[in-house]
Structure 1
């Protein structure tokens, strides 16, 4: 790229380039040469996933335009924001993944995942990773079940009550706040127990798995997905940096450790599936759709708190996608069944 030319990169293009690991100015030059729809081999040599831009770099060329609507309370300062889920981060995340969702894929993906457990309206479902309730409402709407949702983060739990009132079949989700380290679950009550990408935050997960086993009816099913280490080697430096930004204690297991823990509890492990590649695709797909409307969302881009939350969310998911893509971290889904007790 010629040093004599300075390119002003629009806000939404900077976000897109940053997310995809491009140098923003070189990305614009490449697009202007008419290669936007070219093959990957046409990309400039300097493009190599992942590259991370600092907050200052990201904001350097952004000029606010239009008026900010102060009625958008989600982007006002909080007196005591939650360390993991401040309100602004919750709102940006919902803009990224959809109303009621804190992760990628949306209702269609959730329905596809639970097909294998064969839900019907007479079954009872427990979700130990309710979040804002969007996935549970999607399950309730599709299968006509009632879902008991447990959430461990107080900020998400507080917001979920409001969110569920605005989502179809949200009234079929029963909200509960819980501490996974001390929770007591009712014995033999549920046909299906779900846990999605939260078990790595539980310190005594062996005890929790035992409680899940006891809470299931005979032939009940436990579907769990979680981030795991690919082997017994220490986490990479990049993975450690991502973990440090979690805002809470995290302990990663390997897939084998989960299999042993489930088997020791007498679960019949039906399958273990590495879904890392699919998850990366979902993240990038949802982010691409979000970027397309970013410039129109002035509440986010013209509000300092909103921009800061946007950078935090985009950086976090970009790092996660890169870790999964490079095999430094894996997302594995388990399905286990409780045999009939004699």
Structure 2
């Protein structure tokens, strides 16, 4: 059967438009099949193999191509919503100065870490669960001349070990994929100095009931890394148990979703640029489409209040002893 008669071979441009307009690609595929079958009348239309329906490359959690595409969408050094201006505005709550050191959990490609080092002069140790991201992030710090000021290294959330004490801590969407959040929070608290501040943003479920909904189950199944989200109330309790006092707890889901939409509104330009780069560029477009589907699912769950994004600021409790008097 020729490509022109294949009703399921939807162009990448069409897939992006379908996603952006909020439609389900499976519904579009079904309608195209029905239309083609009707036009062909008695001519049967063979079912296309799965590879024809979803012609994308298998993508490791963070391989070279996905890292490249992430920076096409979010900017150099970033692999999610919130560029330099957002990180600076968000981090003003931490009141940092050049004399301080800060631990960044979920450092990714190191963009936020380098911005904090440059804007506030703070000494950053960024830790990242993905060894691929950590390696690429450290390379970017070297290129920026910030290898010492904004170090990015690999760590294991199941066995968190930090080799120094810090004045501040920052985590950007880093705990929702950690199963034992309490252990990680306690490890962070132990390495913070007295009166230190801890700022975090993360995904939460709006209620335990949503975990049985088809939308949530699909999202959990298709995330590149298994998520373990909790409610905002449960996270606050975990933070308190770890020895923190919560100062700020704000739902920023709408702002976060706006950042997603703003970044992906330029995706057509990225596709045009990639398609001009030959075979490798076309392979990268396939990866971009997989990434678009990932962020489409997240965005829809935020819009429907299945998922939420909160900003939380906490301070380390100081236990009074005789020496404090």
TM-score, normalised with respect to structure 1: 0.76
Q: Secondary structure at the match of 2:209?
A: coil
Asked if residue 51 in structure 1 is aligned to residue 24 in structure 2, the reply is yes
Residues 1:266 and 1:322: Cα distance change in structure 2 (over 3 Å): same
**Residue aligning to 2:36:** none
- The counterpart of 1:333, out of the listed 300, 305, 311, is 311
Residues 127-152 of structure 1 show CA distances to partners (whole Å, capped at 9, x for unaligned) of: 01110101111111111111001011
CA distance in 1, matches of 2:28, 2:77: 27
**Residue aligning to 1:203:** 179
Structure 2 matches for 1:1-342, cutoff 5 A?
Answer: 14=14, 17-21=17-21, 49-52=22-25, 83-167=60-144, 169=146, 172-186=149-163, 189-235=165-211, 236-298=213-275, 302-303=279-280, 304-342=282-320
* 1:15, distance to aligned residue in structure 2 (A): 5.4
CA distance in 1, matches of 2:167, 2:232: 24
Q: Which runs of 4+ in 1 moved over 6 A?
A: 54-57
* 1:205, distance to aligned residue in structure 2 (A): 1.2
CA distance in 2, matches of 1:333, 1:208: 18
5+ long unaligned stretches in structure 1: 1-9, 22-48, 58-77
CA distance in 1, matches of 2:319, 2:19: 50
* 1:204, distance to aligned residue in structure 2 (A): 1.4
Is the 8 Å Cα contact of residues 134 and 167 (structure 1) preserved in structure 2?
A: no
Is the 8 Å Cα contact of residues 295 and 301 (structure 1) preserved in structure 2?
A: no
Is the 8 Å Cα contact of residues 273 and 332 (structure 1) preserved in structure 2?
A: yes
CA distance in 1, matches of 2:254, 2:145: 30
* 1:156, distance to aligned residue in structure 2 (A): 0.9
CA distance in 2, matches of 1:257, 1:340: 23
Residues 1:86 and 1:191: Cα distance change in structure 2 (over 3 Å): same
RMSD over aligned Cα, in angstroms? 2.6
TM-score, normalised with respect to structure 2: 0.80
Residues 1:313 and 1:299: Cα distance change in structure 2 (over 3 Å): farther
How many residues matched?
Answer: 283
5+ long unaligned stretches in structure 2: 1-9, 31-56, 321-325
Is the 8 Å Cα contact of residues 274 and 284 (structure 2) preserved in structure 1?
A: no
| Deviates further, 128-137 or 259-268 | 259-268
* 1:232, distance to aligned residue in structure 2 (A): 2.0
CA distance in 1, matches of 2:144, 2:216: 35
* 1:246, distance to aligned residue in structure 2 (A): 2.0
CA distance in 2, matches of 1:109, 1:227: 17
* 1:297, distance to aligned residue in structure 2 (A): 2.9
Which structure has more helix as a fraction of its residues? 2
